[in-house]
Amino acid sequence: MFLELEKIKQSSQYFAKNIPSLYFTKFLKLLYYFDFLSVLERGKPVTNDTYYHLPYGPVPTVIKDQLTMLREENKNIEQELTNKEEGELKSIFLNILKLEKEGEDKWIILKDGEDIGVDYLSKYEKGLLDDIITAFKDTSTADLVAKTHQEIPYLQTPSNNIIDYKLAFYLKRDEILPSRTYPLNPEISQAEYFGR
């Protein structure tokens, strides 16, 4: 399984544009729903990131690392460290997102003038993003963390271990997104996807 970098960037921009005060932790939980509900509904995740059971809930590791890298790059930019070595790794979010600090929390916003493209996202994926935004844009980070802690994928995974995408089939979509009407009819079979 390879990471869907363009889908990660576009969905991240879309969340940042449509959710005021998109805090770092809340963003990671929204991505969890984006991937795991996609597995439930159509048999495959969107981003293909690996999620771990961590104290604040399910966390997509590569995306979290990219945001952490972005935070470090923002510090370097602020310190005017412009002599970066050739080939140095840079966050996939560097040119599209920035992190702002509010008290102890960090929130994610779009860089000024950045256009939001969704051309890498399917109609299904864009619709799922819209439904997640509608359901959770006004939900506090603490409430979203508590909600993800009560679901089987998190509960059935030991601390600091990978949350198996197969556990998505235990999610109660009607409780997570009550207005969602997309049929539970995977595009590919569970055996085909998970047998890879």
Q: Is residue 86 part of a domain?
A: yes
When pLDDT is averaged across residues 166-180 and rounded to a whole number, the result is 93
pTM: 0.85
Please report the pLDDT score of residue 89 as a whole number.
65
| Domains contained in the chain, number | 1
Q: Is residue 40 part of a domain?
A: yes
Which helix (DSSP H) or strand (DSSP E) does residue 84 occupy? Answer: none
Please report the pLDDT score of residue 78 as a whole number.
40
Q: Is residue 155 part of a domain?
A: yes
Q: Is residue 60 part of a domain?
A: yes
Q: Is residue 107 part of a domain?
A: yes
Q: What share of the chain is helix, strand, coil (3-state, %, to 5)?
A: 45, 10, 40
Burial (0-12, 13-18, 19+ Cβ within 10 Å), 73: buried
Tell me the CA distances in angstroms from 124 to 2, 108, 148, 159, 180, one per residue in order: 20, 24, 23, 32, 12
Amino acid identity, residue 32? Answer: Y
pLDDT one-digit tens code per residue, 98-115: 887 766 666 777 776 666
Please report the pLDDT score of residue 187 as a whole number.
58
Query: Is residue 167 within 8 Å of 153, Cβ to Cβ?
Result: yes
Which helix (DSSP H) or strand (DSSP E) does residue 102 occupy? Answer: strand 97-102
Report which of residues 122 and 69 the model is more confident about: 122
Please report the pLDDT score of residue 7 as a whole number.
95
For the cut 90, the answer to whether the pLDDT of residue 21 exceeds it is no
Amino acid identity, residue 145? Answer: V
Tokens 């991937």 sit on residue: 35
Least confident of 1-15, 98-112, 168-182: 98-112
For the cut 70, the answer to whether the pLDDT of residue 188 exceeds it is no
Q: Is residue 34 part of a domain?
A: yes
pLDDT one-digit tens code per residue, 128-138: 999 999 999 99
Q: Is residue 21 part of a domain?
A: yes
Please report the pLDDT score of residue 190 as a whole number.
56
Q: Is residue 104 part of a domain?
A: yes
Please report the pLDDT score of residue 94 as a whole number.
83
Q: In this structure, what DSSP letter does residue 162 have? A: B
Average pLDDT of the chain, as a whole number: 84
Q: Which range marks the domain in which residue 113 is found? A: 5-178
